[in-house]
């Protein structure tokens, strides 16, 4: 009889919910739980491959990572039978703990509220049998920790090991760790510190729909928006998002040469980009948004031909108008 399929699990919650401790606790015989595995990769697709490769060495593979929160629907799609532990912590307590530990990150309540909403939406979308909700304040109880252990690993915990670990507190040094964050992780963190507007949220959802399972195409578009916004802030003399600028530089130097979508479709996309950049240099404000509409249509064409362009073109145009209206309101026009 063949061996059973490896099991995958994910531990999520607001930042400062003991994810590092849980990664340690859930790494034991035959099982490994990574902590913030996104930090070591550039895309969710690469994360999925990495966790599946790990499953060739360990029967059970997990990842404890609050920065997965904005991407839980995609993670659940890659691992449809995975289990998810949601650590529930009071929002105000988590925010205060984060601000005390990492004052330089500038995260505010609105960002934490957005993450909380994303966690609740993800939990609602999953099968109830895949989810375990545990209270942060009860993580020092042996019955709760044993429940987590059995849920993720399928067997009771070693209580002697738990007694040893229960006295341990693990804190990641965010300012130091940020130096190693992959662009995808920085996007998640940046969305906590910098609010996502309704029009931007609509645009991101539309791009996800256009790209479908092609995460390399979506990553290319995300990199392009980072480049565009960095250029826009430089031209307008606006305050710079340093992480976004770093992501943009890393993208064109390190990511695009190895992005499969760009490798295949670069010759087609290059003239589209050239025309969009020419429009950017004009004094016609609406033409500046060709960088969004034309590249989105080009990606749709690469992934599904003219039929896909026709399918999404009206929504692309409407979403671009929303971005322009928001921009005009911010600029007082």
pLDDT in tens, the chain (333 residues): 344 555 899 999 988 888 888 988 998 888 989 888 887 666 788 888 888 888 888 889 999 998 888 889 999 999 999 999 999 999 888 888 877 766 656 667 877 888 888 899 989 999 999 999 999 999 989 999 999 999 999 999 998 888 887 766 554 444 434 433 344 444 444 444 445 578 887 887 888 889 887 877 887 888 887 788 777 777 777 666 665 676 677 677 766 776 778 889 999 899 998 998 888 888 787 888 888 899 999 999 999 999 999 999 999 999 989 888 887 776 665
What pLDDT is stored for residue 260 in this prediction?
Answer: 79
What pLDDT is stored for residue 192 in this prediction?
Answer: 42
Reduced 3-state DSSP string for the chain: CCCCCCEEEEEEECCCCCHHHHHHHCCECCEEEEECHHHHCCCHHHHHHHHHHHCCCCCEEEEECHHHHHHHHHHHHHCCCCEEEEEECCHHHHHHHHHHHCHHHCCCHHHHHHHHHHHHHHHHHCCHHHEEEEEHHHCCCHHHHHHHHHHHHCCCCCHHHHHHHCCCCCCCCHHHHHHHCCHHHHHHHHHHHCCCCHHHHHHHHHHHHHHCCCHHHHHHHHHHHHHHHHHHHHHHCCCCCHHHHHHHHHHHHHHHHHCHHHHHHHHHHHHHHHHHHHHHCCCCHHHHHHHHHHHHHHHHHHHHHHHHHHHHHHHHHHHHHHHHHHHHHHCCC
Q: What's the order of all strands across the beta sheet hosting 83-88?
A: 31-35, 60-64, 7-13, 83-88, 131-135
pTM, two decimals, is 0.54
Instruction: Extract the tokens encoding 178.
Output: 């940020």
What pLDDT is stored for residue 178 in this prediction?
Answer: 40
What pLDDT is stored for residue 13 in this prediction?
Answer: 92
Find out whether 102 and 29 touch, Cβ atoms under 8 Å: no
Distance CA 23, CA 15 (A): 14
Q: Residue with structure tokens 């099982």?
A: 31
Instruction: Extract the tokens encoding 13.
Output: 């919650």
What pLDDT is stored for residue 317 in this prediction?
Answer: 93
Question: Which ranges in the chain are annotated with CATH 3.40.50.300?
Answer: 7-177
9 forms beta bridges with: 62, 83
CATH H-level, domain 7-177: superfamily: P-loop containing nucleotide triphosphate hydrolases (3.40.50.300)
End-to-end Cα, the chain, rounded Å? 70
Distance CA 215, CA 199 (A): 21
User: Which residue, among 210, 202, 180, 231, has the nearest Cα to 67 in the 3D structure?
Assistant: 180
């Amino acid at each position: 009889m063949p061996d059973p399929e490896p099991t995958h699990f994910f531990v999520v919650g607001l930042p400062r919910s003991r994810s590092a401790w849980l990664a340690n606790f859930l790494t034991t015989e035959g099982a490994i739980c990574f902590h913030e595995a996104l930090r070591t990769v550039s895309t969710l697709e690469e994360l999925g491959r990495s966790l599946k490769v790990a499953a060739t060495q360990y029967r059970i593979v997990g990842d404890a990572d609050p920065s997965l929160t904005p991407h839980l629907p995609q993670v659940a799609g890659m691992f449809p039978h995975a289990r998810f532990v949601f650590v529930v912590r009071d929002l105000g307590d988590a925010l205060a703990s984060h601000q005390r530990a990492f004052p330089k990150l500038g995260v505010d309540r609105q960002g934490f509220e957005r993450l909380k909403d994303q966690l609740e939406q993800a939990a609602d979308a999953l099968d109830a049998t895949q989810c375990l909700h545990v209270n942060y304040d009860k993580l020092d109880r042996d019955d709760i920790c044993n429940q987590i252990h059995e849920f993720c690993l399928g067997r009771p915990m070693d209580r002697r090991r738990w007694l040893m670990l229960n006295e341990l507190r693990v804190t990641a040094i965010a300012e130091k760790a940020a130096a190693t964050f992959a662009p995808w992780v920085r996007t998640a963190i940046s969305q906590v510190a910098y609010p996502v507007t309704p029009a931007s949220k609509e645009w991101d959802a539309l791009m996800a729909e256009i790209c479908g399972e092609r995460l390399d195409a979506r990553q290319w578009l995300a990199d392009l928006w980072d480049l565009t916004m960095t250029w826009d802030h430089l031209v307008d003399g606006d305050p710079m998002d340093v992480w976004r600028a770093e992501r943009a530089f890393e993208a064109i130097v390190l990511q695009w040469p190895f992005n499969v979508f760009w490798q295949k479709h670069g010759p087609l996309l290059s003239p589209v980009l050239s025309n969009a950049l020419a429009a950017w240099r004009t004094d016609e404000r609406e033409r500046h948004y060709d960088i969004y509409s034309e590249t989105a249509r080009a990606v749709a064409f690469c992934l599904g031909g003219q039929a896909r362009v026709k399918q999404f073109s009206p929504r692309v145009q409407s979403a671009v108008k929303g971005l322009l209206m928001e921009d005009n309101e911010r600029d007082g026009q």
